[in-house]
Structure 1
Amino acid sequence: MKTTHNARVAILGTRARGGIRAVIENHIESGVYDGATYYELYTHEEGSVIQRVSLAARTLLRFLSLLLRRQLDICHIHGSMKGSIYRKSVFVFLCRLFRVQVIFHLHGSEFEDYYNRAGTVYRAVVRYVLDSSDYIFVLSRYWQDFLRTICTNHNILIVNNFPSTRFECLLSGRSYEGQQNLNFLFLGYLGQRKGIYDLVDAVASVRDQLPAGFCIHVGGNGEQEKVERYIAERGVGQHFDIHGWVSGEQKDHLLRQCNVLLLPSHNEGMPIAILEAFAAGLTVVSTRVGGIPDLITDDSVGLLIDAGDVDGLAKRIRQLLSAQDLIESTAANANRVYSEHFSATANVARIRTIYSELLAIA
């Protein structure tokens, strides 16, 4: 009988920078595929339409080659919404045709909103993908409950994301002694969905109450020029440092340097940025959307506001500026929650067990 030590797995995802790509990399780095033969296949990337179509076509041909040579047991599909569903439906169909087991791993933070606004064809494709999968992985109970209302598949499992283990090393040596100013951090796509404009408005509303050295470091891709213009228009340029997309050592440096992560999102799945902050020992201020309340269950773990509540966000910022004890205690509690439920140690074995179950019935 096959086990994960000799399984043959196709990992379908995106080459674009962001949370989905980070999850795939973390699965590989943390040992989910140790002993297995795995193929990283990309159906999407940043770039022109021609580049994206060319990549999808090349990936489809390679996937067909693997199927025709009977070299796949499991296909783990990381998907979201919009065009992702149409692309992934082709691979699901081929997997069913060649009797390959399918895991559909849903990441789309705006999946529900998009589904509810979509037409009949899109909804039918979504239901086909969901009902044709052997297992569906979701990031929280919120998404599990929603999918149960739109499909008949009973194998919908909550499988936690987890960040790279390297962020755990940033916790050691973190100290507040001698620190004159707290440093705040925003990590994520620069656009309305992640709440960056709400954050600028919140800072502008309390600018007269902020210390001279107050700074929010901003790391992310997206609407950078638009965000920079908006910051200038609101007159708070001295309080923001825009770094653009950050990764590797630069990202580690920011997580080590900063004390608080601010992520006032309007829609989310299970943001990897919050898990990275938990692992690195930061306090988190975020919103009651998607799977975030499953991460921050009460004020002892982090601070939540309603999405779009600019006044509430400003209040939390002012609260933390004079509450070092609160920052230290919530960061410690959040790190404990991370270790118990959202670390690689807590989740790799579970994913490998699910793979073994699929191989047993293949």
Structure 2
Amino acid sequence: MHVNALSRISRIPQSPPSSVRHYLPGGCESGGGIGRLVGYISNAAKDTDREHLITDTRGQKWSPATSPARLLAAVVIMAKDRVADPGRIHHIHIAGRGSTSRKLILTGVARLLGCRHILHLHDYDYARDFSRRTSTQKTRIRRMFQGADHVVVLGQRDHLTLTGDLGVDPQRIAVIRNCVPDPADRIVRVREDRRSEPPLIIFLGRLSERKGVPELLLALSHPVMKELHWKAVVAGDGPVEDYRRQAAALALSDLVVMPGWLGADEARALCSQADILVLPSYAEGMAMAVIEGIAHGLAVVTTRVGAHEEVISDGDTGVFVPVGDKDALAATLAKLVCDREQRNRLSTQARLHYLNHFSMKTYMRSLEKLYDAVSAQPQTSAGAS
């Protein structure tokens, strides 16, 4: 968490915990990385006194037939909460594009009803999305962020966007980096069972150009990789069949498996069997896959985008490659496939870094302080905005 916000929050006296309702597109199962994070939060909260509820604001995918009704239902739920549990904190998860349009409506209702609410920004380049808006839209978006009781961001880049472009008071911004549950002994047990097998390279995320999947397939088919023994799993949703055809055209069908989207348990089971996690993205906020990688003690290969430099120290807790550079990606993967000692060193350092900075315990402690701070603030009356 940002030091100013943390010091301010830590001085606020403890009060009985308010319940929290999360608003996100697709819920936990169909909400991508945001849904997975909220699912982890909800599970971890079972060990606390604070109740966490989840409301889907869109459905599995945007649909003009059903999504507006989902949003309307979320508005009705918020209004009912204001009567039944007026102190409830409304934790609203937001990204760019259509997500911002929906959250402009939801936060407008929150201000009108006087609901305590937090905006939690998850986006790979919100500054760029904001710059493309009309003047009227920019005014509304600034008002939305400035009107929240607190705003959570994933890293310092988004902190600068909020203070510079959106005019949010730095004292009302908290940097809370993504987290995942600790896989603990499972990774040791599974990895010991497969020491004699070829290294397993995995990718987790939506199969897309933004995630660098075309470059990844080209790197895996590179001559330096064709000479080595390895296997790869490229897991995620998106145009899976198109990428399977690309892999087949590159003669990768026997080496690369594309199972489609994996649930949280399936993804963590895959991580526990892997050696290298690769995410050659063009843009990210803070990828959940990278945090999963360091939690499982994998050798992480990724790009210097978003808040990744706040997670990965190059050559120590992971390896950076240039964006869009298939040759550099191939050379890095080949070196890690060949060099077990380097993989083990990166694994040890990554795992230690996770335990010190990105565990659920650390994350929930920061989140609880934030909720206590919001609960302690005077609540606005209905109609005041």
Q: Please state which band the TM-score falls in when normalised by the shorter chain.
A: over 0.9
| Aligned mate of 1:160, from 174, 177, 199 | 177
Quick check: 1:179 aligned with 2:196?
Answer: yes
Give the equivalent residue in structure 2 for 1:145.
Answer: 160
Residues 1:177 and 1:22: Cα distance change in structure 2 (over 3 Å)? closer
Cα distance between partner residues in 2 of 1:196 and 1:54: 34
Give the equivalent residue in structure 1 for 2:222.
Answer: 205
Q: CA deviation at 1:294?
A: 0.7
Cα distance between partner residues in 1 of 2:47 and 2:115: 17
Listed as ranges, the matches of 1:10-25 within 5 Å are 10-15=21-26, 16-25=30-39
Give the equivalent residue in structure 1 for 2:53.
Answer: 39
Q: CA deviation at 1:128?
A: 1.8
Amino acid at match of 1:30: A
User: Which aligned segments of 4 or more residues in structure 1 are displaced greater than 4 angstroms?
Assistant: 1-5
In the TM superposition, what whole-angstrom CA distance separates every residue of 1:88-140 from its partner, at most 9, and x where no partner exists? Answer: 12222222223222211001113233222233233223212211112111111
Give the equivalent residue in structure 1 for 2:6.
Answer: none
In the TM superposition, what whole-angstrom CA distance separates every residue of 1:26-61 from its partner, at most 9, and x where no partner exists? Answer: 111112883234331111222432122221122222
Give the equivalent residue in structure 2 for 1:229.
Answer: 245
Give the equivalent residue in structure 2 for 1:244.
Answer: 260
Cα distance between partner residues in 2 of 1:72 and 1:52: 28
Give the equivalent residue in structure 2 for 1:80.
Answer: 95
Give the equivalent residue in structure 2 for 1:64.
Answer: 79
Quick check: 1:260 aligned with 2:282?
Answer: no
Q: CA deviation at 1:207?
A: 6.0
Give the equivalent residue in structure 2 for 1:91.
Answer: 106
Give the equivalent residue in structure 2 for 1:357.
Answer: 373
Amino acid at match of 1:220: G
Amino acid at match of 1:23: L
Cα distance between partner residues in 2 of 1:218 and 1:102: 37
Indicate the SS of the match to 1:105. strand
Q: CA deviation at 1:160?
A: 1.5
Indicate the SS of the match to 2:78. helix
Cα distance between partner residues in 2 of 1:32 and 1:287: 35
Cα distance between partner residues in 1 of 2:281 and 2:78: 36
| Segment drifting more, 322-331 vs 1-10 | 1-10
Indicate the SS of the match to 2:355. helix
Q: CA deviation at 1:202?
A: 1.2
Cα distance between partner residues in 1 of 2:184 and 2:104: 37
Residues 1:121 and 1:329: Cα distance change in structure 2 (over 3 Å)? same
Give the equivalent residue in structure 2 for 1:49.
Answer: 64
Listed as ranges, the matches of 1:304-319 within 5 Å are 304-319=320-335
Residues 1:87 and 1:72: Cα distance change in structure 2 (over 3 Å)? farther
Contact 1:6 1:36 in 2 (8 A): yes
Amino acid at match of 2:107: V
Contact 2:15 2:376 in 1 (8 A): no
Indicate the SS of the match to 2:45. coil
Paired-residue identity, %: 23
| Segment drifting more, 190-199 vs 63-72 | 63-72
Residues 1:172 and 1:4: Cα distance change in structure 2 (over 3 Å)? farther
Contact 1:187 1:273 in 2 (8 A): yes
Q: Which runs of 5+ in 1 are unaligned?
A: none
Give the equivalent residue in structure 2 for 1:279.
Answer: 295
In the TM superposition, what whole-angstrom CA distance separates every residue of 1:212-265 from its partner, at most 9, and x where no partner exists? Answer: x42211111111011112112223222211111112443233112210001001
Cα distance between partner residues in 1 of 2:181 and 2:15: 21
Indicate the SS of the match to 1:175. helix
Give the equivalent residue in structure 1 for 2:207.
Answer: 190
| Aligned mate of 1:295, from 311, 316, 323 | 311
Q: Please report the TM-score for the alignment, with normalisation by the length of structure 1.
A: 0.93
Q: Please report the TM-score for the alignment, with normalisation by the length of structure 2.
A: 0.87
Contact 1:81 1:114 in 2 (8 A): yes
Report the count of equivalent residues.
Answer: 360
Indicate the SS of the match to 1:59. helix
Cα distance between partner residues in 2 of 1:84 and 1:92: 12
Indicate the SS of the match to 1:160. coil
Contact 1:320 1:327 in 2 (8 A): yes
Q: CA deviation at 1:70?
A: 4.9
Amino acid at match of 1:46: Q
Contact 1:217 1:240 in 2 (8 A): yes
Q: Which runs of 5+ in 2 are unaligned?
A: 1-11, 379-385
Contact 1:6 1:35 in 2 (8 A): yes
| Aligned mate of 1:105, from 105, 120, 135 | 120
Contact 1:170 1:252 in 2 (8 A): no
Residues 1:137 and 1:324: Cα distance change in structure 2 (over 3 Å)? same
Quick check: 1:30 aligned with 2:41?
Answer: no
Give the equivalent residue in structure 2 for 1:133.
Answer: 148
